Amino acid sequence: MAGQIMDFNGIVMMQKNYRERDLLVKFFTMEAGKRMFFIRGAKKRGFKMTADLLPFTYGTYVGDLRDPGLSYINAVKETAHFQNISEDIEKNAYATYIMSLLDRAIPDNELLGSWYNRLYHGLLAIDQGLDAGIVANIFEVQLLELFGVAPNLRNCVICGRTDLPFDYSESYGGLLCQNHWHMDPNRLKLDQRTIFYLRQFSAVDLTKLSSIKVHPETKHHLRLALDMIYSDTVGVYPRSKRFIDQMNKWSDKLPHPTDDKN
Ligand SMILES: [Zn+2]
């Protein structure tokens, strides 16, 4: 297919050096899925689009979109930047992780559908101060479907009941009510709060997030549960997630402010 010159809405995912003076910049685009752009002369002094191509920038661009092959950007119409994400190491880590999950879940050049807006609003929520770890959890739950897991989090996968305590079964791909716990000895043995949030996260509209408050202990349980589900049934572990795990280990080891009596 030949190139098509068009306006497009994009969110910059990442950039990498290419040859001496050029850059490759990967975008999530609303109109054409994930695209890799070749930016000639991006590292020359006086290059005009530097700020428009930084990670966590979004806006409207004019480009020559090619499939297959690299695409080109002809002009920038209007851009803005998720400033707080860029400046905060934790927000940055979770935002990067969300983008790398979405990158793995959807092949290049395939339309993103509702995921473009979900990504934009999820990043906006993190930028505006919502709990980045929880926003990432919501993406993890909702992305399971794209990874081919699509767990049933509505009701018991065996009998359909919704009024008994639930647990999560990886082998049955969803919830088991208490009457059917015996069917999976390897069920995850999650507490009811964790189950409650997993169910909420699967249904919440990412474009309408306003506030989320989750108790720290439940946050920890959600992290463990989703780590298990991802490692056992998805098998995707991006480098950005490795960094988050390291970061959480360091912060566990730091002395707690209230421990310091001096
Ligand atoms: Zn049941």
* Domain count within the chain: 2
* Among candidate residues 81, 102, 120, the one where a domain is terminated: 81
Domain shared by 121 and 220, yes or no? yes
Domain shared by 135 and 228, yes or no? yes
Residue, of 210 and 104, whose pLDDT is higher: 104
Using the structure block, give the residue that is written with the tokens 């409207």. 60
* Among candidate residues 51, 81, 111, the one where a domain is terminated: 81
Residue, of 171 and 254, whose pLDDT is higher: 171
Domain shared by 177 and 250, yes or no? yes
For residue 164, report the distance from its CA to the centre of ligand 1, in Å: 8
Domain shared by 57 and 94, yes or no? no
Domain shared by 97 and 56, yes or no? no
Residue 160 in tokens: 């359909």
Q: Is the pLDDT of residue 113 over 60?
A: yes
Q: How far apart are CA 211 and CA 248, in angstroms?
A: 22
Q: Is the pLDDT of residue 2 over 80?
A: no
Domain shared by 178 and 65, yes or no? no
Q: What is the pLDDT of residue 261?
A: 44
Q: What is the pLDDT of residue 250?
A: 87
* Among candidate residues 81, 115, 132, the one where a domain is terminated: 81
Q: What is the DSSP string of 90-159?
A: HHHHHHHHHHHHHHHHS-TTS--TTHHHHHHHHHHHHHTTS-HHHHHHHHHHHHTTTTT---B-SS-TTT
For residue 49, report the distance from its CA to the centre of ligand 1, in Å: 57
Q: What does the mean pLDDT of the chain come to? A: 94
For residue 176, report the distance from its CA to the centre of ligand 1, in Å: 5
Q: What is the pLDDT of residue 253?
A: 76
CATH number for the domain spanning 32: value is 2.40.50.140
Mean pLDDT on 232-243: 96
Sorted by sequence, the CB contacts under 8 Å of residue 75 that are 6+ apart come out as: 61, 62
* Alpha helix positions (H), the chain: 83-87, 89-105, 115-127, 132-143, 192-203, 216-229, 239-253
Domain shared by 206 and 185, yes or no? yes
pLDDT tens digits, 39-98: 999 999 999 999 999 999 999 999 999 988 999 999 999 999 999 999 999 999 999 999
Domain shared by 155 and 244, yes or no? yes
For residue 178, report the distance from its CA to the centre of ligand 1, in Å: 7
Q: Is the pLDDT of residue 117 over 90?
A: yes
For residue 163, report the distance from its CA to the centre of ligand 1, in Å: 10
Domain shared by 69 and 129, yes or no? no
Q: What is the pLDDT of residue 256?
A: 59
For residue 217, report the distance from its CA to the centre of ligand 1, in Å: 27
For residue 181, report the distance from its CA to the centre of ligand 1, in Å: 8
pLDDT tens digits, 147-163: 999 999 999 999 999 99
Q: What is the pLDDT of residue 200?
A: 96
Mean pLDDT on 16-38: 97
What's the pLDDT band for 252 if we cut at 50, 70, 90? confident
For residue 165, report the distance from its CA to the centre of ligand 1, in Å: 10
Residue 236 domain boundaries = 86-259
Domain shared by 167 and 183, yes or no? yes
Domain shared by 250 and 137, yes or no? yes
Domain shared by 70 and 182, yes or no? no
What's the pLDDT band for 226 if we cut at 50, 70, 90? very high
CATH number for the domain spanning 222: value is 1.20.1440.120
